[in-house]
Amino acid sequence: MIHKLLGLHHITAIAGDARRNLNFYTNVLGLRLLKKTVNFDDPKTYHFYYGDEVGSPGTILTFFPWGEIVPGRRGPAMATEIGFSVPKGSFDFWLKRFEQYNVTYNKPAEKFGERYLTFLDPDGLKLELIESVSPDSRKPWETPEVRAEVATKGFHNVTLTLNDVKATAEILTDVLGYKQTDKHVNRYRFSTDAVENAAIVDIVEVPHEMRGHLAGGTVHHVAFRVENEQVLMEYRNQIAAKGLEVTEQIDRNYFYSVYFREPGGVLFEIATDNPGFTADEPLDSLGTSLKLPERYEHRREELEQVLPKLD
């Protein structure tokens, strides 16, 4: 295969209250709301996309806010930590901001030579701000309160927690083109050299722990990035050749994708760069109106009545 997978595309998680989720990620963290749409399989539930100005792959965090959903539990067979790259020297700003907004956090620590700051979103999703040792020239989205010198620039890494690292590591290296680049105790680091950022997957191996429970405050799936549909289908063929069940190509309006469950139990997606978030909205008004998949457009009036009010 001559084409390379290009690191992380997006990560999708589960939230509870939609308004609370929207306020936290746009106001407290300072991300841009890129798209306000609905879950393809449950159109009475929003699907929010957050990221940088244009929704660059590697910056996109998405949520299904399922209202009164019970809290989940992090554990094996799940992605359990989402790491964002931030500028060096920005932790003082974030610590004060977390105090201001009553965000639960731990004091800064270090792993693999990088300082990180762990915190939880209102549903208990575990997030990290990381002062990357590698240069990160990505332009962040700015707000009046979260300026470029402290703002998140997109993903640094994602962490999977598994009972056994071996089979998942083989998928990362043999199919997805990652290499193991470091290890500390039971944390294995895998990286791709195809991109400079959003290029890292960590695996934490915990052989005897009970599997996690997918619900509020947990990651639903992790999506990796490819350039276009041709490359997507090349990877689909490789995944199928490994004996894993993989979906047909699916049109998600803003990208095309396939899904498969890797041997450790985590749901993976591979998604294309095209067509992007300006497919149905101009750049300067991304996220300002409710966009529906074509198959639900005839139900717009009904859905606008049942979806939670965000104002």
Maximal C-alpha separation, the chain: 54
Let me know if residue 24 belongs to a domain: yes
Q: What is the DSSP letter of 224?
A: E
Q: If you average pLDDT over residues 217-225, what whole number do you get? A: 98
Q: Strand runs (DSSP E) across 121-266, as ranges?
A: 126-131, 155-162, 179-184, 187-191, 200-205, 219-226, 250-251, 255-261
CB 234 within 8 A of CB 272: no
Q: What residues make up the domain containing 28?
A: 8-306
Let me know if residue 23 belongs to a domain: yes
- Rounded Cα distance, 217 and 69, in Å: 10
SS3 295: helix
Let me know if residue 2 belongs to a domain: no
The closest alpha carbon to 116, from 64, 187, 53, belongs to 187
Let me know if residue 311 belongs to a domain: no
Tokens representing 219 are: 């990651």
Range of lowest pLDDT (13-17, 54-58, 131-135, 148-152): 131-135
Let me know if residue 3 belongs to a domain: no
Look at residue 2 in the predicted model and tell me its pLDDT.
61
Let me know if residue 91 belongs to a domain: yes
What is the pTM (predicted TM-score) of this model?
A: 0.97
Look at residue 3 in the predicted model and tell me its pLDDT.
86
How many other C-beta atoms are found inside a 10 Å radius of the C-beta of residue 98?
17
Residue 135: Cβ-neighbour burial (10 angstroms; 0-12, 13-18, 19+): exposed
Let me know if residue 1 belongs to a domain: no
Q: What is the CATH number of the domain that holds 154?
A: 3.10.180.10
- Residues 91-144 pLDDT 10s: 999 999 999 999 999 999 999 999 999 999 999 999 999 999 988 999 999 999
Let me know if residue 202 belongs to a domain: yes
Q: How many domains does the chain have?
A: 1
- Rounded Cα distance, 285 and 34, in Å: 9
